[in-house]
Every structure is written in structure tokens, then in C-alpha cells.
Amino acid sequence: MACHDPPSSLPLTGEPIATRWTPDIKAEVKRSRVATTRQLAAAINACPAEQRPKVLVNASAVGYYGSSEHLQSTTFSESSAPGRDYLAEVCREWEAAAEEAQTRVVILRTGIVLAKEGGALGRMIPVFSIFAGGPLGSGRQWCSWIHRDDVVGMILEGIRNPAWQGVYNATAPNPVRMGELCSALGSVMGRPSLVPVPDFALRTLLGEGASVVLEGQRVVPTRAQDAGFKFKYTQVTDALRNVLRA
């Protein structure tokens, strides 16, 4: 990284996690997040103080809080303790790597980003289009979602506002259960949400990686709201309607 007084640094890399977790994939999921962030922090620190980026806005994920069925009644804020599973471990190390940077650091623990292109919603839309959509697993697992525009808004706030520092949950104020998300998507698309994908099918397809979609966390953006951040989309139906219209 060249030191020419860049105003900010924003790494956006990472091996996809919604796949079968072989040992090699798990190693790459961690390496692509932790090692690359540590390298970036070292590059920032190697710059003369007056030429360093003024802020590092780094991604993390709501997987930090852990993902298991016995947590389904828990609501997580930024002060909640980390989980103990594999993804929580990755997130802890990822955030620790970002904190090594000797500049202002903003970490966004991001939930399910609602956008047509890629991600969970990008995979669901074609299935619903052919009248084959429905909830994944029980449909009772929590989905902490956020509209793409609000993610961008939080990134920009992190860059522009020197008062922002530390961890922020990048999730909408009103998380929903998977069944609610699928019902809302079906309603907006004019399609039913009647064909559930059973747990065993996802576990057969994805193995340990199925936990990403079969288990969830109820996460709220306490620090962003306390800081006065205004979400454009607080209800999942409004967010989906906008995404699908775009």
C-alpha cells in the first residue's frame, strides 16, 4: 500500500461462507479475512503518521455472536459476548486484526445484505420466480438483515464522522425470522412461499456450512441508533420492494 495520505481504507474481501466447509475452505475463509486484514493494518502502520489513512472501516459479521438454536431467544447488541463456534472465532480474529491498525477503526458486523446481486437474496429470487420458494429449515431462525443502501450509508458515516469508532452492528432495527422473510419476498414477487427446504437437505448439501442458513442471531444496531444514524429501510417488506424494483 502506497502512503499518499489516503482519507480512508475499506477492505471488502472474503471467501464465501455459504458452501460446504471442507478443511481447505475453512482455512481460506479465515485466511481471506484475517490474514489480509492483518497485512492491511501492517501497511497502514508502516506509513508515516501524517500520511496514514484517517480511518479504517473494516467488515465483520453477526456470526461474531455465535450461531446455535439455543440462542434463538437472545437479542444481541454490540456489547454482547462473542460466540464459541467456528464463525465466531473467525470474526473475533478478523476484528482483532483490524484493531492492530494505528488509526481510527470502525468495524461493521454485517447481517444479511438485501441486494439482487449475489448473496442470500440473489439466490432466493430465481427460486421464488419459478414458484418453488419457501423457508429454509424450520423458518423459525432469526434473520438480521439490512438493505444495501443502509450498509453504504453506515460505511460513509464511518468514514465521515470522527465520532464513530469501534464496533457497530450493520443490521436493520427490526430483524425477522426466516419464515417472515420468505413470506415477505413471496408477497412482493406475487409468488407463494410454500415449499420449505428441510434441514436434512441443506445439511446434506452444505454439511457444517448449513449452519449459516439454518441457525441465526437476533441482532440490533444499538450503537448506530444511539449515534443518530437514520436507516432508510426499517421494515423488511419495504426493503424487498425497493430491491426488486431497482
Whole-number pLDDT of residue 72: 66
Residue 148: inside a domain, yes or no?
yes
Residue 18: inside a domain, yes or no?
no
pLDDT tens digits along 28-55? 999 999 999 999 999 999 999 999 999 9
Residue 1: inside a domain, yes or no?
no
147 vs 111: CA distance, rounded Å: 10
Residue 5: inside a domain, yes or no?
no
What's the whole-model pTM score?
Answer: 0.91
Residue 122: inside a domain, yes or no?
yes
Short-list 122, 116, 128, CA closest to 191: 128
23 vs 146: CA distance, rounded Å: 30
Residue 154: inside a domain, yes or no?
yes
Q: Count up the domains in the chain and report the number.
A: 1
The residue range of the domain holding 170 is 23-245
Whole-number CA gyration radius for the chain? 18
Q: Which residues of the chain have pLDDT under 50?
A: none
176 vs 220: CA distance, rounded Å: 11
CATH number at residue 144: 3.40.50.720
Residue 96: inside a domain, yes or no?
yes
Residue 141: inside a domain, yes or no?
yes
Whole-number pLDDT of residue 198: 77
**Element spanning 213, H or E:** helix 211-214
Short-list 16, 19, 14, 15, CA closest to 208: 19
Whole-number pLDDT of residue 2: 57
